[in-house]
């Protein structure tokens, strides 16, 4: 497969453009993709994405797509990370759960936005690699191995929960029940009906916990189409046979 980095190596006499330039191009794409939250843009500018991709694909780190990180998983496309983090509507000091640590990139962006982050990953080796990477880069993120669709190994509720893998509808009760009053859950879900029996495919949605005199409600907003690896677990999809 030919990558953007290969292209530059072959056709640009000076080699690949410097990381600074690629990062600036990514930020321009995020802005034109509808990201306006200055804190999110600053975080995406500050977190060194090249440190989160696998060795050899650093040249593509700022490209507009997901990249493989091993174990058939991917680091999400930069625009998707920015959309999720913006939709979390973070306040400084918010307690945030990041589901699907993967490379740790999304957790780092949330931490950089001022969130106090715990992150859960079901594949132990990815969790271990992300944990040491985040520590080395100075991000204060607590990474645990576990199933984000099952009983959560954390105490207390979260102001925001961001999920980087596609869930069946409805989202896992463990996550919905993990929201503090006013909390936001941003999660990709598959096969959402349009009410008329049609299938809208994979959508990014936001549930918000609202407590009022009538009780607790979870109004839901559709944030648009998306594409993610499956969320695998007791209230997610079942494990692939060849894993
Ligand atoms: N946020 C990551 C994206 C990783 S892709 C990043 O920035 O790199 C999604 C990740 O979710 C994969 O690593 C996958 O193993 C993990 N995952 C899938 N189902 C999960 C579950 N039930 N609980 C925790 N992690 C899960």
Give mean pLDDT in consecutive 10-residue pieces for the chain, a chain of 243 residues.
Answer: 61 72 97 97 97 93 95 96 98 98 98 98 98 98 98 96 96 97 97 71 95 97 95 91 47
Show Cβ contacts of residue 235 under 8 Å, excluding neighbours closer than 6 positions.
149, 150, 167, 168, 172, 173, 174
- Determine whether 103 is an active site residue: no
Catalytic residue among 2, 76, 119, 167: 76
CB of residue 172 inside a 6 A radius of ligand 1: no
Q: Identify the pLDDT of residue 201.
A: 81
**Coil, helix or strand at residue 203:** strand
Q: Which atom of ligand 1 is nearest to the CA of 76?
A: 3
Q: What is the DSSP letter of 77?
A: P
Among protein residues, the one with the nearest Cα to ligand 1's atom 4 is 102
Evaluate if pTM is beyond 0.75.
yes
Q: Is 20 left (phi over 0), alpha (psi -120 to 50) or beta?
A: alpha
Residue 4, pLDDT score: 63
Report the pLDDT value the prediction gives residue 10, as an integer from 0 to 100: 62
Instruction: Kindly give, in sequence order, each residue whose CB lies less than 8 Å from that of residue 129, ignoring residues fewer than 6 positions away.
Output: 103, 104
pLDDT at 179: 98
* Residue 66 pLDDT: 95
pLDDT score recorded for residue 82: 98
Residue 242 tokens, joined: 């060849």
Q: Which 3 state secondary structure label does DSSP give 32? A: helix
Q: Ligand 1 in contact with 76 (CB < 6 A)?
A: yes
**Residue 100 CB–ligand 1 contact under 6 Å:** yes
pLDDT digits (tens, 9 = 90+) for 4-22: 666 656 665 566 678 899 9
**Which residues contact residue 138 at a Cβ distance below 8 angstroms, ignoring those fewer than 6 apart?**
none
Name the residue of 52, 61, 101 whose CB sits within 8 Å of the most ligand 1 atoms, as the mutation to test its pocket. 101
Distance 213 CA to ligand 1 centre (A): 37
């Amino acid at each position: 497969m030919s990558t953007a980095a290969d292209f530059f190596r072959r056709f640009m006499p000076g080699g690949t453009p410097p990381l600074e330039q690629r990062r600036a191009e990514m930020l321009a794409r995020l802005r034109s993709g509808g990201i306006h939250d200055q804190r999110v843009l600053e975080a995406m500018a500050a977190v060194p994405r090249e440190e989160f991709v696998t060795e050899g694909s650093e040249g593509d780190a700022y490209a507009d797509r997901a990249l493989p990180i091993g174990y058939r998983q991917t680091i999400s496309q930069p625009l998707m990370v920015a959309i999720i983090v913006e939709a979390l509507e973070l306040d400084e000091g918010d307690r945030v759960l990041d589901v699907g640590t993967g490379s740790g990139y999304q957790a780092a962006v949330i931490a950089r936005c001022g969130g106090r982050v715990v992150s859960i990953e079901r594949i132990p080796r990815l969790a271990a690699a992300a944990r040491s990477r985040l520590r080395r880069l100075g991000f204060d993120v607590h990474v645990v191995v576990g199933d984000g669709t099952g009983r959560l190994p954390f105490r207390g509720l979260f102001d925001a929960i961001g999920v980087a893998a596609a869930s069946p509808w409805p989202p896992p009760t463990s996550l919905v029940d993990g929201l503090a009053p006013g909390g936001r859950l941003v999660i990709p879900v598959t096969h959402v009906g349009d009410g008329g029996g049609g299938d809208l495919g994979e959508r990014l949605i936001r549930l918000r916990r609202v407590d009022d005199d009538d009780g607790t409600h979870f109004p839901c907003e559709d944030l648009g189409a998306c594409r993610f690896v499956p969320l695998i677990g007791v209230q997610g999809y079942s494990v692939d046979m060849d894993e």
